Structure 1
């Protein structure tokens, strides 16, 4: 994917990406950074377990990149709405302005490699109305593997003028997710053992939403963390019943890896809604049914 303006595949959500492919690779980003003005770079490295993303950022990041904290900037406080509910528009707007995001600016976001956290930032920016945002395919590791420059210098960006306008991408609540599992296709983006209810390391109840189909996000990328080509992603999702002929949605544990699923579906040309509260919201209501095993 070395074209700086690769169009979406036929049937893709072109209006949701400004007609530009939502991914950019490292060579193309190098060219973009030589332009005036260059794109805004946001580092959103985040680890469910392990060192904080801010620590990785301090040890080295792309020149000019500003760190964005997933827990603080891309989510509201955890609670019944989920472990990573949507942030309030005012809070997200302030965070993006601190990072230098302005209305017409192109934004490139990245994480370590597989775009799990970067996809949440991509989706959140799109949900709040910023169209010119793309994900660095392969992330930080893909950037440094070619010997490209990194730095420990922390930039001080000029404040941006980003205005948060929520509702620009489709979302699901618990009732909508339950309905979609019966009338359309609801993808569960978690690992298979969590879906089956064999292992639940985070939430208090194990299992999945009845009728949901398991589609772990690990299947969206190769061993290098880069997304599979659009035709392979389309084939993968079609085998699971998810095509642009049906209503499709996705959830995970708390709405982070499910955003990765939405990004993969977008690349494949399949519009999809995100259940932001995901499993952590679903199990907060004891009246919601729980399924285990294979669907």
Structure 2
């Protein structure tokens, strides 16, 4: 053991020497791909936005609030006893073209979240169906983080991954909760800032819609077709396996690198109404990337004057 430790120390010293001489970079441990938190005890809420089914199960057994973020169609097929039910539309502006944006009135948001049982110090586990859904769990997780809740996570593999761990003995929500929003702009960008930032060489804009949407099709009510100039297409479900779990993180990072994305990049994700891009923002922030969600997305952007908010087609 001592010999192995000495060898490791020598290797690190050698690497540092080479790095200081300009030969090779030394990668900090936190920049390496890591797996999701596998137990409740291992969760670092500032770092971990995504946790394993086991970790989520343990949180639930410890009394975490559970939010069922699935769409109404999936909720009709199966219910989650004692979970607080919400759909993304409940927490978004009601009308087009700003339907993707989060509710702006803090008093309305507080009332809605408290009715769900959201409290400042109670951890939250958000569940959905990664295979058949639209990334609603990631959207709700992103929304709650953006409103200032710092103990909310999404589950790698969704509801199915938690159910595999055992019976879900969910404690009923304690209503009303006591959470009061304290919004941050750290993970959100508005259309005006995005427009002004398009010339920023360090900015990478990702269109996480289906390829047909990126190319100009408008199946979900956009006023105009196409994508933001310079945006790179990357369908969010390319990161999800058949079992609903994320691909190995090294594979995800390889794809991101192919798009020119590093942890020093400023990344903006958008879709049609900020749902899929909200999921994408949640996942990439968990991986340690600097990502913001443009929640207004194509519903909002495409409704603006074309000369000021252009779109291009491939």
Where 1:272 maps in the other structure, the secondary structure is strand
Matched residue, 1:13 = none
1:292 aligns with 2:309: no
Q: Tell me, which stretches of 5 or more residues in structure 2 are unaligned?
A: 1-35
The one of 39, 55, 64 aligned to 1:39: 64
The alpha carbon displacement at 1:138 in A equals 1.2
The one of 223, 226, 246 aligned to 1:227: 246
Where 1:130 maps in the other structure, the secondary structure is coil
The one of 184, 188, 204 aligned to 1:185: 204
* Aligned counterparts of 1:7 and 1:27: Cα–Cα separation in 2: 11
Q: Map 1:6-21; keep pairs closer than 5 Å.
A: 6=42, 17-19=45-47, 21=48
* Aligned counterparts of 1:6 and 1:32: Cα–Cα separation in 2: 11
- Cα pair 2:264 2:290 within 8 Å, conserved: no
The alpha carbon displacement at 1:154 in A equals 11
1:213–1:126 Cα change, 3 Å: same
Q: Map 1:84-233; keep pairs closer than 5 Å.
A: 84-88=100-104, 89-114=106-131, 116-144=135-163, 146=164, 148-149=166-167, 155=172, 157-183=174-200, 184-233=203-252
* Aligned counterparts of 1:53 and 1:154: Cα–Cα separation in 2: 22
Runs of 4+ in 1 over 4 A off after TM superposition: 5-8, 153-156
After superposition, the CA RMSD in angstroms is 2.4
TM-score by length of 1: 0.83
- Cα pair 1:42 1:107 within 8 Å, conserved: yes
* Aligned counterparts of 1:5 and 1:207: Cα–Cα separation in 2: 45
1:24 aligns with 2:51: yes
Q: Tell me, which stretches of 5 or more residues in structure 1 are unaligned?
A: 9-16
1:214–1:180 Cα change, 3 Å: farther
